[in-house]
Amino acid sequence: MPPPCPASLTRSWLSSFVLPNKLCPFLPPLPPSSIGISLHPSADPEAFVPACMSEVESLLSPETPQTTSLLVFPSLFPAYLDQVRASYSLLAAIDAASLSSSVQVVNFHPLFLNSLYSDGGPPDAYDYVNRSPHPTVHLIRSRDLEEAARAFKGDAEAIPGRNMARLRGLGAERVEREWREALKCPANIPRGG
């Protein structure tokens, strides 16, 4: 049986892991058409910034119904730090285009670590807050994020702390199991840390 399409895995991750764990309280009220998922199969790291900038331009177009885009790069960035480094170039391109105040960028990766300087200690359940099936860049229009934060019933700035407490309260073993179940992943894929 062929492996699932990276875009399908990303949708499964959103619906079966992110939403049930309430990791993004802004996500549930969004209609599915407002979330764009685009697959970028290129293995050429030089294609990363142009692909992202093209999506930024599309996202900021008044005709675009989407408020957020997930760009999935299944053939790039086997190491999380490679994605982080490439994202610096993306942020520089966004800044050079004078769009820094218009779009937010968040990295997701199968080997995401909250601390880039992790000492390789025990697994941390909180790392799963930004673990995705494939290297993914989340682009969201700043104005939509601000509107969602205003409409949020609660303290939007407390969301990261709440996510940390929730995931750590569940424990690394359970969170990893739920993450894998959401993706139907075998236990032999990289787990990071």
> In this structure, is residue 153 part of a structural domain?
yes
* Structural domain of 92: 6-183
Whole-number Å distance between alpha carbons of 70 and 89: 18
pLDDT in tens, 130-148: 999 999 999 999 888 888 7
* 3-state secondary structure (DSSP) of residue 136: strand
Whole-number Å distance between alpha carbons of 124 and 175: 9
- Rounded to 5 degrees, what angle do the CA atoms 132, 136, 142 make? 110
Residue 64 identity: T
pLDDT in tens, 137-178: 999 998 888 887 777 777 778 888 999 999 999 999 999 999
Whole-number Å distance between alpha carbons of 45 and 62: 29
Q: What is the pLDDT along the chain (193 residues), one digit of tens a residue?
A: 566 788 888 888 888 898 888 888 766 555 555 678 899 999 999 999 999 999 999 999 988 878 789 999 999 999 999 999 999 999 999 999 999 999 999 999 999 988 765 566 678 999 999 999 999 999 999 888 888 777 777 777 888 899 999 999 999 999 999 999 988 754 444 444 3
pLDDT of residue 88: 97
Whole-number Å distance between alpha carbons of 149 and 156: 6
pLDDT of residue 156: 77
Whole-number Å distance between alpha carbons of 105 and 140: 7
Instruction: Report the number of distinct structural domains present in the chain.
Output: 1
How many Cα atoms within 13 Å fall on the side-chain side of residue 150? 6
- Answer yes or no: are the C-beta atoms of 40 and 73 closer than 8 Å: yes
Whole-number Å distance between alpha carbons of 135 and 115: 17
